[in-house]
Amino acid sequence: IKTMMVRGTAGANPSFGHAYSLTGEMAVQDGVRAGCDSNCGDPYHESGMQAISQGFVTPREIDASVRRLLRPMFQLGLFDPPEAQPAFASYNWSHVATQAHRQLAIEGA
């Protein structure tokens, strides 16, 4: 994986109450063209199909977004069977938010 941007839910969303885009379809266009490939909120879900059918974004642009989303998942083996990824297979909730992780986050901040 060469580069990958991960962002918070609302920070990169051009329509999240900021009046940046005039319509949901335009918000999808603005987001996709800015490289925001996923959206946890409503704009992509509610306006995505209309944005395509009305020509705000092309199927080719959506295909590129989906490729950017799925490529690292395949590279990381997330679709491989568990026995092919022993590190992932042994990972569980006891590994989440440990004291060591918290300390590393504090040091990183």
Global pTM value: 0.66
- Report domain extents, the chain: 24-79
Report residue 87's pLDDT band, with 50, 70 and 90 as the boundaries. Answer: confident
pLDDT at position 43 is 72
SS3 of 102, please? helix
List the structure tokens of 87: 């590190």
pLDDT at position 18 is 67
Residue 47 has what DSSP assignment? Answer: H
Residue keyed to tokens 């642009």:
61
Answer yes or no: is pLDDT of 15 > 70: no
pLDDT at position 10 is 53
User: Distance between CA 21 and CA 25 in Å, rounded?
Assistant: 9
pLDDT at position 38 is 83
Residue 83 has what DSSP assignment? Answer: G
Report residue 51's pLDDT band, with 50, 70 and 90 as the boundaries. Answer: very high
User: Distance between CA 63 and CA 99 in Å, rounded?
Assistant: 40
